[in-house]
Amino acid sequence: MKRILLAVCLLAGIFPLITLAHPGRTASDGCHYCRTNCAKWGVPQGERHCHFYSEPTKEIINSSVKVKEYSDENVSFVTFQHDNTWLTYQTKTVVLQDSKL
C-alpha cells in the first residue's frame, strides 16, 4: 500500500497542473474589483470585473461593448463592458462584433 501511495505521489509531482488564477478573492458570482493586470483584460483599474469560463450569450453580445479580445493557439478571451461591469469570457470561438469605442 505504501508503494502505491509513493508511486501516485511521484506521478502527481511529474505532471504540471494548469491553473487560471488572479491575485485576490472573488465574490460568490465570480466577480471582483480589478487591482492588478487590468489592462491585460481591458478593464479600468478599480472597476468590477467578472470571469466566465463559457461562451457569452447573444444577449450579452448584443447589449454590451466589446473592449478587448485576446487569442492564441490554445484559448481565446473576450471582455465586454455591460452596464458598469466588465465581463471576461474564455471562449472557443472568436466573437464577431464591431467595437463601439
- pLDDT at 98 exceeding the cut of 50: no
The residue with greater pLDDT, 1 or 22, is 1
Q: Tell me: the pLDDT tens digits for 14-64?
A: 655 544 555 557 777 888 998 888 888 889 999 999 988 888 889 998 999
Residues in a beta bridge with 2: none
Identify the band that residue 80 occupies on the pLDDT scale cut at 50, 70 and 90: very high
For residue 11, the model assigns a pLDDT of: 62
Give Cβ neighbours of residue 48 (< 8 Å, ≥ 6 apart).
31, 32, 33, 34, 84, 85, 86
> 91 vs 59, which has greater pLDDT?
59
Q: What is the pLDDT of residue 13?
A: 64
pLDDT at residue number 65 = 93
Nearest alpha-carbon partner for 31 in 87, 76, 82? 87
This prediction's pTM? 0.62
